[in-house]
Structure 1
Amino acid sequence: MLDLSVGVAMVARFQKFGMSFVRRSATSVFALLAAPLLAFSAPVAARPVSVKSVAAGGAAAWDGFVRQTLDRWFVIDPSTAVYQGAHEHDGQLPDWSAVGLERKATFLRSVIARAGSFKGLTDKQRFERDYMVQVAKGQLFWLTDADQPHRNPSFYVNGGLDPNVYLSRDYAPAPVRMRALIRFFDAVPRAAAQIRANLTHPMPATFLYFGGAAFSGFADAYANDAPRAFADVKDAALQAQLKAASQRASAAMKGVADWIKAQKPGGDYALGTERFARMLSATEAVDAPIPTIEAAGKADLARNRDELVKACTAFAPGETVPACVEKMNADKPADGPVAEATRQIPDLEAFVRAHDLVTIPGTEKALVRPSPPYNAQNSAYIDPAGPLDKGLPSIFYISPPDPSWPKEKQDAYIPGKADLLFTSVHEVMPGHFVQFLHSNRADFPVGRLFVGYAFAEGWAHYAEEMMWEAGLGNGDPKVHIGQLSNALLRDCRLLSAIGLHTGGMTVDQSKALFREQCFQDEGNADQQAARGTYDPAYLNYTLGKLMIRRLRDDWTASRGGRAAWHAFHDEFLSYGGPPIPLVRQKMLKEPAPHAVF
């Protein structure tokens, strides 16, 4: 649900990389992605490029500016380049020193100023310019205004420490990836020292728990998962190098985790009203007042609750709504959610094709796997292949319950079949997986490289309701309850984000909101309330969905309504992943970008 990262993710897909973009969303290598314009014969990092070497000018100069800007972006952020498939950056981590952080801030300010100075661009170039400027503004917000490097462990958790690309993505023979992983491990102790130097205390309890769990998970993955992944490589010397490097990296991460766990909680997680508004503007080009967004979220919550009452009346007559939702979730897959999701995806693909909902480009596949322990705080997410890793599958990860929980809480956490069905819709078909198949094929570089949080999560969440509207489940109220339970979860994320960061809401009050208004089980409510403190942008699921629905209604109104859905979906996805107000401006030919719900 890059439920990164950002990212991504991500975080992972978090939601991931800077919180405003999903896992593979922050940046990528331009050269291999746009081969007609430039072909590399040497690693990008070997010859840093100054953005200033291309003078701002008109249309003729724009492509050169984009090329040099993206070249430099990956020198600064090599870990994201690796996830995009630019493996000349393998083994590198960002420079998180004070000098490195300031270098990135200076670069982003330069991108904003110089891109904005171009005149005489074509319509397509103006769109790419506005898109690039918005990306830079969003990253700069998290880096400086929100000050995440000093305040929020998620900046690092979602910033390149995940080794999964080397372990699970078969982009090269195992010995090649193994050597890259050894270089990665060699870079971790320096990164760990920078993290400890940067993070200030006290931090809120939720930050400490999240950071402690994530860094401990990395430590375990480095020491255990990595050697297992390459156990079949018959090279004793390489195995010895991997063992030594993985143990050093694991010890460094464990040191960070132990250091965080030893801290006493304190401090304030809230961004505050003004900074929260700046977040919306910088990261998503959303200009609507916060009360307007909150009202839209409350209206969507009320709409979905009303629909849930109707569905429960049919599915569990005489039962309370919580009992009805519990009944829906009691129908759990006997062989677990990974096996069930694996069965669901081919059926969903057949449904999308039969109902002509959206083009599914390419032949790439999505595989389903259990989440690695270091990213188990996300109940489900997808790690999509980058645009440079041609023909590789994406991985849909599903997290098991926390083994430290009581058995009853663990059992409740495992989704029912109907609930899981819409998670599979969200993550794979036609959600994130299909969306990234399109963005990887966008016809301009920035569209292939940057996929925003609200665009990705908004599309995936929009896809859930759209699939129900198109007939998924044939009107079965149990299936509808599965869709609505996911919608209510995202409604409460929007209201929780606004409450936690602008309204004085406590974590316990947020948890109660998820339990009482959105009918979430205790384990999910715990996770979601905590996540809202360190991921204030998780309102983007519902925010993005509402903007996409309104854009669809406005665009298709003069094009045949439901008959134009396929055309709408294909055009919407063709823009890559920019802030949705930019897409609205482009598709409706409006004079300026605005957020409309």
Structure 2
Amino acid sequence: MPSLRLLSLSVCVAAALIAGCKQETPAPAADANANGAAATVAANADWQPAIDAFVAGYFERYPTAAANAGKHEYDGKLPDWSPQGLAATGTWLKEQRAKIAGFGDDKLDAQQRFQREYALSVIDGQLFYLEDSGFPNKNPAFYAGDLSPSMYLTRPYAPLPQRMNAFVAYQEALPKAAEQIRANLKGPLPASYIEFGNIVFGGLAQFFKDDAPKAFAEVPDTALQARFKASNAKAIEAMQGLSDWLSAQKPQATQDYAIGAERFAKMLKATERVELPLDQLKAIGEADLARNLAALKAACDQYAPGQALGACIEKVNADKPQGGAVQGARDQLVGLRKFLVDKDLVSIPGTEEARVEEAPPFNRTNFAYIEIPGPYEKNLPSVYYIAPPDPSWPKAEQDAYVPGKADLLFTSAHEVWPGHFLQSLHANRSQWTFAQLFVGYAYAEGWAHYTEEMMFDAGVDGATPEIHIGQLSNALLRDVRFLSAIGLHTGGMTVAQSEQMFKDKAFQDPGNARQQAARGTYDPGYLNYTLGKLMIMQLREDWTASRGGRSAWKAFHDQFLSYGGPPVPLVRAQMMGGPAETRLWQAPAAPASAAADAAPAPAPGTESGGG
């Protein structure tokens, strides 16, 4: 579970697109990282070869990431998850860290010093999840991303027979991988980890049984089909066996999911370069939740006077997109892109577009995600996938699953214009390949979430109360994730308390509330949506204050996006010319009446059902 992810298929993170006109990653406005060294130090010719060697070594140890980036010589390979393999990777990362840190300030120019801190943050994030988190021995999510076969099925990077050959190699590698995962996981395991593992491993087994044969049925190569059949049977057995083993752990399941305050703080520092006391972070999150709840009440007072907030949101969600969610999103992308151009909010490099399609059967656990080919791919489409409701559900549940137009609008903004897809277009124009490859959790999700509120503030779709409610629904979900991550891992919050908060403060239905609360136990980093957004909002306010305020938004957005995807505090140092400090935007205090209406849920343990 890396904190800095290679740009590849992800439910949460975007990818870099086709390389086009290159734009050099800008040097800092002031020499923020020199620590007194002369800003005129010449570029070190040894620096880039050291980074190239790191990337090459990284691909060897994380072959799935390499293949997703477009290095298809790594197709079908999986990481070595044996204890010896994991230990060797940890040793290599520490050696690389020492080598890169050894380039002192007096040996690098200003831009290289920034690049050094960017590279060190990638290594520190990998080391945290590998060694400090304890996840290799407890958390199936550590392995889940590398097991996804989506690239071979949905990305047309090669003719189908070639992709089938890669898929067969992947299936052939699965039994060994499953054996390693099984040996690494040490019980007793948290109940939510077991459930997640069952969804992933059992879901893969079902996919291999039901869907994979159909995907390659038309390939006429009989020898390849025979290999497929043999490897498919073993892959089903391996994944089902892993799922069955996890199921057998349920009687001993625990609620011991918290990584603890010390490790949580270390995670934030290692992965995002965020250093703030956890009580201060929690207070900022509570204030943002209160801000958004107060805004929701004001919008609902206009849109549905006299109705409770939940009923108001239901009314908004009843206004469905014409033709369904896929067609609705297609229409929305046209309007969103035009709005960006008409309002001149951010540059759109290139002419690439994202298609909208129905999600394939094997990847419908999330309503929406975007697949963007890696930076080494050429001329491949990006696809914004939307999952249909399960046809086995009752008609009422199927209808409820399709979001309202206002909610869908901000999902489309988050995924495409001007969220993940646009961010990838900018990242891929970086002259530094490293910045195309590595994009941080808080940078990517923070940017995508930031754009939702930015688009509303800029007047998208008339910024009506209905549109505002759609934006706020997404913001409240991320606020509760932020508070749940802190509460579950550092404050004694139970899963039930988190689930109740998602119902009461984010107005989630019971199924989504359960899913969101469970995710917080195995993905403590999901606070990064709001964390990244609030850091970007504060940076925008500080940077534009001396550059014309709102009229400088486009310049701010373009410069922010030019860095690739480092921790936001490093971007702050580049843009503001000061230290790489953590500053989060905070709204002015709400009026007393609004604050009372919008008070966050009680702290865990203070009230039955609170949190």
| TM-score (normalised: structure 2) | 0.87
SS of equivalent to 1:451:
strand
1:316 paired with 2:316, answer: no
Whole-Å Cα distance in 1 between the matches of residues 144 and 387 of structure 2? 17
Whole-Å Cα distance in 1 between the matches of residues 390 and 115 of structure 2? 43
Query: Equivalent pairs: percent with the same residue?
Result: 54
List runs of 5+ in structure 2 lacking aligned partners. 23-41, 586-611
CA contact (8 A) 1:8 1:382 kept: no
SS of equivalent to 2:462:
coil
Whole-Å Cα distance in 2 between the matches of residues 78 and 591 of structure 1? 35
CA contact (8 A) 1:412 1:521 kept: no
Alpha-carbon shift at residue 6 of structure 1 (Å): 7.6
1:109 paired with 2:94, answer: yes
Q: Please point out which of 481, 491, 501 is paired with 1:493.
A: 481
SS of equivalent to 1:382:
strand
Residue 5 to residue 382, structure 1, CA distance change in 2 (3 Å): farther
**Quick one: which amino acid aligns to residue 92 of structure 1?**
K
Counterpart position of 1:453: 441
Q: Please point out which of 13, 27, 40 is paired with 2:10.
A: 13
Render the CA deviation track for 1:106-127: whole Å, top value 9, x for unaligned. 1111122111110210111111
CA contact (8 A) 1:440 1:448 kept: yes
SS of equivalent to 2:310:
helix
Alpha-carbon shift at residue 559 of structure 1 (Å): 1.0
1:236 paired with 2:222, answer: yes
Alpha-carbon shift at residue 379 of structure 1 (Å): 3.0
Residue 83 to residue 131, structure 1, CA distance change in 2 (3 Å): same
**Quick one: which amino acid aligns to residue 97 of structure 1?**
S
CA contact (8 A) 2:325 2:386 kept: yes
In terms of mean alpha carbon deviation, does 195-204 or 403-412 score higher?
A: 403-412
Q: Please point out which of 565, 581, 586 is paired with 1:577.
A: 565
**Quick one: which amino acid aligns to residue 320 of structure 1?**
A
Counterpart position of 2:237: 251
List runs of 5+ in structure 1 lacking aligned partners. 16-21, 35-56
Render the CA deviation track for 1:322-376: whole Å, top value 9, x for unaligned. 1101111112235432222122112211111111111222233322233345543
1:212 paired with 2:198, answer: yes
Alpha-carbon shift at residue 553 of structure 1 (Å): 0.8
Whole-Å Cα distance in 2 between the matches of residues 12 and 541 of structure 1? 18
In terms of mean alpha carbon deviation, does 365-374 or 174-183 score higher?
A: 365-374
Alignment root-mean-square deviation, CA: 2.4
CA contact (8 A) 2:371 2:384 kept: yes
Alpha-carbon shift at residue 261 of structure 1 (Å): 1.8
Whole-Å Cα distance in 2 between the matches of residues 527 and 373 of structure 1? 19
In terms of mean alpha carbon deviation, does 360-369 or 166-175 score higher?
A: 360-369
SS of equivalent to 2:10:
coil
Residue 86 to residue 399, structure 1, CA distance change in 2 (3 Å): same
Counterpart position of 2:27: none
Alpha-carbon shift at residue 468 of structure 1 (Å): 0.6
Q: Please point out which of 118, 131, 144 is paired with 1:157.
A: 144
**Quick one: which amino acid aligns to residue 143 of structure 2?**
Y
Render the CA deviation track for 1:530-562: whole Å, top value 9, x for unaligned. 111111110000000000000011111111111
Counterpart position of 2:548: 560
Counterpart position of 1:195: 181
Residue 340 to residue 361, structure 1, CA distance change in 2 (3 Å): same
Q: Please point out which of 165, 169, 176 is paired with 2:155.
A: 169
Q: How does 1:52-91 map to 2 (within 5 A)?
A: 59-91=44-76
Q: Please point out which of 500, 513, 523 is paired with 1:525.
A: 513
Whole-Å Cα distance in 1 between the matches of residues 358 and 141 of structure 2? 22
**Quick one: which amino acid aligns to residue 188 of structure 2?**
P
Render the CA deviation track for 1:462-510: whole Å, top value 9, x for unaligned. 0000111111020311111000000010001001111111111111110
Q: How does 1:38-437 map to 2 (within 5 A)?
A: 59-119=44-104, 120-158=107-145, 160-264=146-250, 265-333=253-321, 335-372=323-360, 374-401=362-389, 408-437=396-425
Residue 503 to residue 405, structure 1, CA distance change in 2 (3 Å): farther
Q: How does 1:504-515 map to 2 (within 5 A)?
A: 504-515=492-503
Whole-Å Cα distance in 2 between the matches of residues 596 and 422 of structure 1? 22
CA contact (8 A) 1:216 1:374 kept: no
**Quick one: which amino acid aligns to residue 94 of structure 2?**
R
Whole-Å Cα distance in 2 between the matches of residues 109 and 334 of structure 1? 54
Whole-Å Cα distance in 1 between the matches of residues 372 and 392 of structure 2? 30
Residue 180 to residue 368, structure 1, CA distance change in 2 (3 Å): same
Alpha-carbon shift at residue 402 of structure 1 (Å): 5.9
Counterpart position of 1:53: none
SS of equivalent to 1:473:
helix
Alpha-carbon shift at residue 413 of structure 1 (Å): 3.4
SS of equivalent to 1:91:
coil
Render the CA deviation track for 1:58-96: whole Å, top value 9, x for unaligned. 812111111111111111110000110111111111000
Counterpart position of 1:45: none
CA contact (8 A) 2:321 2:405 kept: yes
Alpha-carbon shift at residue 201 of structure 1 (Å): 1.2
**Quick one: which amino acid aligns to residue 140 of structure 2?**
P
Alpha-carbon shift at residue 184 of structure 1 (Å): 1.1
Whole-Å Cα distance in 1 between the matches of residues 360 and 579 of structure 2? 46
Residue 429 to residue 553, structure 1, CA distance change in 2 (3 Å): same
Render the CA deviation track for 1:117-165: whole Å, top value 9, x for unaligned. 102101111111100101110111011111211110001111x111111
Counterpart position of 1:39: none
Whole-Å Cα distance in 2 between the matches of residues 539 and 195 of structure 1? 27
CA contact (8 A) 1:365 1:392 kept: no
CA contact (8 A) 2:8 2:69 kept: no
Render the CA deviation track for 1:6-60: whole Å, top value 9, x for unaligned. 8879996254xxxxxx4769xx9xxxx99xxxxxxxxxxxxxxxxxxxxxx9812
SS of equivalent to 2:526:
helix
CA contact (8 A) 1:514 1:525 kept: yes
Alpha-carbon shift at residue 416 of structure 1 (Å): 1.3
Alpha-carbon shift at residue 412 of structure 1 (Å): 3.2
CA contact (8 A) 1:585 1:593 kept: yes
Whole-Å Cα distance in 2 between the matches of residues 248 and 12 of structure 1? 25
Render the CA deviation track for 1:292-336: whole Å, top value 9, x for unaligned. 111111111111111111110111111111110111111223543
Structure with higher RCO (Cα < 8 A, 6+ apart):
2
In terms of mean alpha carbon deviation, does 175-184 or 418-427 score higher?
A: 175-184
In terms of mean alpha carbon deviation, does 234-243 or 322-331 score higher?
A: 234-243
1:465 paired with 2:453, answer: yes
Counterpart position of 2:36: none
CA contact (8 A) 1:442 1:448 kept: yes
Render the CA deviation track for 1:553-581: whole Å, top value 9, x for unaligned. 11111111111111111110110000000
SS of equivalent to 1:270:
coil
CA contact (8 A) 2:367 2:386 kept: yes
Counterpart position of 2:464: 476
**Quick one: which amino acid aligns to residue 521 of structure 2?**
T
SS of equivalent to 2:507:
coil
Counterpart position of 2:591: none
| TM-score (normalised: structure 1) | 0.89
Alpha-carbon shift at residue 189 of structure 1 (Å): 0.9
CA contact (8 A) 2:6 2:437 kept: no
In terms of mean alpha carbon deviation, does 328-337 or 467-476 score higher?
A: 328-337
**Quick one: which amino acid aligns to residue 268 of structure 2?**
L
CA contact (8 A) 2:6 2:69 kept: no
SS of equivalent to 2:210:
helix
Whole-Å Cα distance in 1 between the matches of residues 238 and 347 of structure 2? 46
> When the two structures are aligned, how many residues end up with a matched partner?
560
CA contact (8 A) 2:15 2:421 kept: no
Residue 201 to residue 210, structure 1, CA distance change in 2 (3 Å): same
**Quick one: which amino acid aligns to residue 380 of structure 1?**
A
Alpha-carbon shift at residue 214 of structure 1 (Å): 1.1
